[in-house]
Structure 1
Amino acid sequence: MSKILVASICAIFLCVQVNAQEAVLRAFGPSGENEYCIVFNSSWTHLPPSLNNATLYQLVNLTSSVLCHQTDLPPEGLNGKAVVVMRGNCTFEEKALIAQSSGARAILIASKTSLSTPSGVNADKGVNIQVALVRYKDVLNMQKAFKDNISVKLYAPSAALFDYSILVILIISMFTLALGGYWSGATEQAPWEANICHAAYKVILVLINLAALGGRRKSESSDEIQFTPLKVVIFVLGMCGILVLLYFFYKWLVYVLIAMFCIASAMAVYGCLAALVQMIPCGQCSFSFRDKTIEIRFFFLAAFCIAVSVFWAVYRNEDRWIWILQDVLGIAFCLNFMRMLKISSFKICVTLLSLLLVYDVFFVFITPFFTKNGESIMVQVAAGPGATGEMRGGNMVEVPAEPTAPNEKLPIVMRVPRLSSPTQYLCGMEFSLLGYGDIIVPGLLVAYCHRFDVWNNNPTKIYYISCTIAYGVGMIMTLIVMVFSKMGQPALLYLVPCTLLTSALVAWRRKEMKRFWAGTVYEMEENPVAISSNESEVIVHPKE
């Protein structure tokens, strides 16, 4: 039954079509044909869905005027033709009415600025011709290619409501969370693996010190971090402060975050590959540097990881393909983060996830009431200022009129291009986004569940498996709401209740809620205890 339900939902997503605000202008001339991006408002302008259904119009070039007066019209009129005029001095509606009075069937408004969705035209006032915005540089390109003998067709290919990039995002998030949670629990059984990863960190830091011509010596202690209630509150407040600072000082802090991501991702890839390198029999010879002994194989692995990180930094704005490497580095970053952060009890999980749920909802849904442009701080920071191609979930779009310097984006999201967008390469790359926090935060709970399974020798891994499935259900809910609402969603609004309630229900059904809530191993390590022969009796000795 469940398989039929899932199949039905997928079928609905694939069959339902939506009208895009971006369309295609196909220009024909004696020497060939070209396609260009145009932007229109589908609420009052109808464009056919395919080239075969579109009407061919001869194009009249009036870019020497803005067509705000009848005197701007040519003496011979525009009967049955399309006309292109410059933007400015009067409304789109006024331009359309003047062109329509002369017999025009379509009007293209050339813009030297960004192509924002036309507004202010009311079909009830008599505008019944096609109205769209086109880049002025594209008009110049048409003139250069076809001179004055140009014919055009305007059409808006329908896009599926469901884009396959959403399925890719779901697979990436599920894979990363399941593997990260399993790895965190596996280190409870195989502490040698954690030691290997820590050794990998030492090698990375040695190479970074070499590049920086020095640096302080690092501690020899474990690299694991354990959360306490106080650390949870400080952590969440710190995230709020960093997000607000990024919103106001983005153009400076973005480079700091990029540099930090390069270092962190190199360390993360190293930590993930260290266990595999350990299986390689060759390269076990070592050398000494600053009282540290380093194996040759680890040295070359460190060099490889740093090279990959630097490669991403150099080509980070190549949207057509660099997203693949960024997602790989992001997966490694999330895996390593979940392994390093240790949550010792369900009590701390509830505190952390609940606070971050409030944080996520506030910065997505509440902050638009306080920002000047009505955009949420979370979306603005995640996509980057000016990155309109990654925020086109609603009814309004904006396409740059001229090639500009790439906008720097924070490497804190998984990015997958929208694979079914019909205007992807004409109007600019569009991406589906998922923040690292939407994987890491529930992943900390999944990791705790797996460690609890290990502590209690649960052969079925019931806590780990059930929490992972609950995360998948929460992600599907998030994506469904996002698709139908056509706006970004705070994923934790759906992920936190699904994972917390499922974990609590499993513990309650197994009559282990008290132990699950309080934790076991890590809280006992913080307070030395002596356990009597009665397992339920624990005597805590004060620390000396």
Structure 2
Amino acid sequence: MVHVVSETGGRKGKDYCILYNPQWAHLPHDLGKASLLQLRDWTASVLCSPPDLPAKGFSNQIPLVARGNCTFYEKVRLAQGGGARGLLIVSKETLVPPGGNKTQYDEIGIPVALLSHKDMLDIFKSFGRAVRVALYAPGEPMLDYNMVIIFVMAVGTVALGGYWAGSRDVRKRCMKHKRDDGPEKQEDEAVDVTPVMICVFVVMCCSMLVLLYYFYDQLVYVIIGIFCLSSSTGLYSCLSPLVQRLPLGRCRVPNNSLPYFHKRPRVSMLLLALLCLAVSVVWGVFRNEDQWAWILQDALGVAFCLYMLKTIRLPTFKACTLLLLVLFVYDVFFVFVTPFLTKSGNSIMVEVATGPSDSATHEKLPMVLKVPRLNASPLALCDRPFSLLGFGDILVPAYGIGLLVTFMALALMQRGQPALLYLVPCTLVTSCALALWRRELGMFWTGSGFAKDVPQSPWAPPSADDPQPQKDSDTSLPRPPPGEELAKCPPPPEQPPEVSVPEETGAGAPPQEPVSPVGCTPEPTSLVGASA
């Protein structure tokens, strides 16, 4: 960091990022121990030869020079010979650590660092030409408090999404008898993931990641548009069950022949759709406002993840294992292997997620949860002012212990981590262990944990469509498949199940028991099944 203050007093000092090599000379970790020296604007010179030195040298100053074509060693050797106490080199290109060899490092005793051209202009605009600067290198804390916020959001999203999906699945199985002929369906249909879909999905992910790496400035706006549409849909899906339960706003659109509107949706649902779309548009317009736009992005992201967790289902543990293992290899390859394949030596995954440093648009991909750093380290100004967690790390596995291991690896290695490297083993191992403990691994692997056609109660009367006579009362109950029990379904609170009462065949006809809904059998007292 370079701390800048005006020599004439006035406004408070400000920190700017510099990139330095500690092998030239070490900088103090504490600003209070750093010397506050005069900054000499010598940017009209590249300081590559002795004639570039001022007549009186740089006595107890820190010169600011242009980059030029000579080596860092030639510049810093001239600056040190001229009495400078440090050297700042202005660069319009991507900042790189100023390097040299061991002999040059031993010869030089003053620090040398690179400052971006944009920051140089801001210094002179904010403080004028008469400024003093102090160079220091603060330590970076291992963990930031924002990790707690990300952990709560991620684990909470996975838990709530899993509960929502499971409760909806149970409710649908218990209400097969109810036809939804209303103007709007209460629930969206779920999509079961197949092995073919997994292969197509992974190929698309790889292709999109590579395309973003090479054509980031063109494709980033496509991703932003997709995020606005998908997140507004997810927000609508999350809020619509709450709005439908409100006692007000139940009026519907009049009869018409317009597409979709001919179903006469409720006015309140239309207003909700407009509100969700407006929220995503507001984020799209102000997405680069770092002070508060991240809150909208996280809210829309959580809603999108909940919608996907509710809609996309992995019907078998076999499909789940295939998907996780393939994505495990995908994540590790693009984080740890691609640095050896790129010219810059940077990971394709991290480069795309954080935005390439040479991007002309300086846009960031929105498909992440982001929380700003909460510690007081000035390094938050330099690199990664936000902690990020990709949506894929939320939608694919589940979860908490693996995320804690990810944070530990991030703190120890101080570099971007492929979260699936830790999440996938934790998910698969714990799932297998729990299934083995419950003796349900076979059902879990094949997805046969639910009874598709649960038999009716033996004392229920035959329906009108069933010509078969009712069995005798002493007929034994059919036993459920191993590991499964008959579904027990309470009547839905909105509409109690109808009671079928057959017409009397005579004055002394005995009363009949009510018919249970199809697929929902009262629990017999003589059967105790293992929960599936």
- TM range, normalised to the smaller chain? 0.7 to 0.9
Alignment partner of 1:520 is 2:448: yes
Secondary structure in 2 matching 1:358:
helix
Provide the C-alpha distance between the structure 2 equivalents of 1:60 and 1:246, rounded to a whole number of angstroms: 42
Alignment partner of 1:414 is 2:385: no
Change in CA separation of 1:98 and 1:228 when aligned onto 2, cut-off 3 Å: same
Alignment partner of 1:255 is 2:221: yes
1:284 is aligned, of 250, 259, 264, to 250
1:342 is aligned, of 298, 305, 313, to 313
Per the alignment, residue 91 of structure 2 pairs with 111
Q: Which amino acid aligns with 2:374?
A: L
Structure number with greater CO (CA < 8 Å, separation at least 6) is 1
Q: Which runs of 5+ in 2 are unaligned?
A: 457-476, 484-532
Q: Which amino acid aligns with 2:151?
A: L
Quick check: 1:183–1:339 contact (8 Å CA) kept in 2?
Answer: yes
Quick check: 1:334–1:439 contact (8 Å CA) kept in 2?
Answer: yes
Secondary structure in 2 matching 1:84:
strand
Per the alignment, residue 478 of structure 2 pairs with 533
Q: State the shift of 1:501 in Å.
A: 0.8
Provide the C-alpha distance between the structure 2 equivalents of 1:330 and 1:307, rounded to a whole number of angstroms: 15
Q: How does 1:38-437 map to 2 (within 5 A)?
A: 38-39=17-18, 40-120=20-100, 122=102, 124-136=105-117, 138-139=119-120, 149-191=130-172, 222-287=188-253, 288-289=255-256, 290=258, 291-386=262-357, 406-420=361-375, 422-423=377-378, 427=382, 430-437=385-392
Higher helix share: 1
Q: Which amino acid aligns with 1:353?
A: L
1:438 is aligned, of 377, 381, 393, to 393
Alignment TM-score, normalising by the size of structure 2: 0.77
Q: Which runs of 5+ in 1 are unaligned?
A: 1-22, 204-218, 389-404, 444-470, 539-544
Quick check: 1:317–1:406 contact (8 Å CA) kept in 2?
Answer: no
Per the alignment, residue 496 of structure 2 pairs with none
User: Number of residue pairs matched?
Assistant: 450
Secondary structure in 2 matching 1:442:
coil
Q: State the shift of 1:169 in Å.
A: 1.8
Provide the C-alpha distance between the structure 2 equivalents of 1:147 and 1:226, rounded to a whole number of angstroms: 63
Q: State the shift of 1:114 in Å.
A: 3.9
Change in CA separation of 1:275 and 1:108 when aligned onto 2, cut-off 3 Å: same
Per the alignment, residue 26 of structure 1 pairs with 4
Higher strand share: 1
Change in CA separation of 1:266 and 1:238 when aligned onto 2, cut-off 3 Å: same
Farther off after superposition, 179-188 or 144-153: 144-153
Change in CA separation of 1:62 and 1:382 when aligned onto 2, cut-off 3 Å: closer
Provide the C-alpha distance between the structure 2 equivalents of 1:364 and 1:90, rounded to a whole number of angstroms: 34
Per the alignment, residue 511 of structure 2 pairs with none
Provide the C-alpha distance between the structure 1 equivalents of 2:72 and 2:403, rounded to a whole number of angstroms: 42
Farther off after superposition, 472-481 or 405-414: 405-414
Q: Which amino acid aligns with 2:49?
A: H
Provide the C-alpha distance between the structure 1 equivalents of 2:32 and 2:187, rounded to a whole number of angstroms: 69
Change in CA separation of 1:135 and 1:121 when aligned onto 2, cut-off 3 Å: farther
Task: State which structure, 1 or 2, has the greater radius of gyration over its C-alpha atoms.
Answer: 2
Q: State the shift of 1:137 in Å.
A: 5.3
Per the alignment, residue 405 of structure 2 pairs with 477
Q: Percent identity?
A: 44
Provide the C-alpha distance between the structure 1 equivalents of 2:129 and 2:199, rounded to a whole number of angstroms: 67
Alignment partner of 1:502 is 2:447: no
Quick check: 1:193–1:275 contact (8 Å CA) kept in 2?
Answer: no
Provide the C-alpha distance between the structure 1 equivalents of 2:482 and 2:74, rounded to a whole number of angstroms: 84
Change in CA separation of 1:315 and 1:168 when aligned onto 2, cut-off 3 Å: same
Provide the C-alpha distance between the structure 2 equivalents of 1:424 and 1:321, rounded to a whole number of angstroms: 20
Per the alignment, residue 542 of structure 1 pairs with none
Provide the C-alpha distance between the structure 2 equivalents of 1:315 and 1:341, rounded to a whole number of angstroms: 30
Deviation digits for residues 446-502 of structure 1 (CA, Å, limit 9, x no counterpart):
xxxxxxxxxxxxxxxxxxxxxxxxx21111111111221122111111111111111
Deviation digits for residues 17-72 of structure 1 (CA, Å, limit 9, x no counterpart):
xxxxxx12223312435424141223443222333212132333322222222232
Quick check: 2:339–2:345 contact (8 Å CA) kept in 1?
Answer: yes
* RMSD between aligned residues: 3.2
Q: State the shift of 1:146 in Å.
A: 6.3
Secondary structure in 2 matching 1:116:
coil
Provide the C-alpha distance between the structure 2 equivalents of 1:100 and 1:131, rounded to a whole number of angstroms: 10
Secondary structure in 1 matching 2:204:
helix
Quick check: 2:188–2:311 contact (8 Å CA) kept in 1?
Answer: no
Provide the C-alpha distance between the structure 2 equivalents of 1:150 and 1:239, rounded to a whole number of angstroms: 50
Q: State the shift of 1:164 in Å.
A: 1.7
Q: Which amino acid aligns with 1:258?
A: I
Change in CA separation of 1:328 and 1:194 when aligned onto 2, cut-off 3 Å: farther
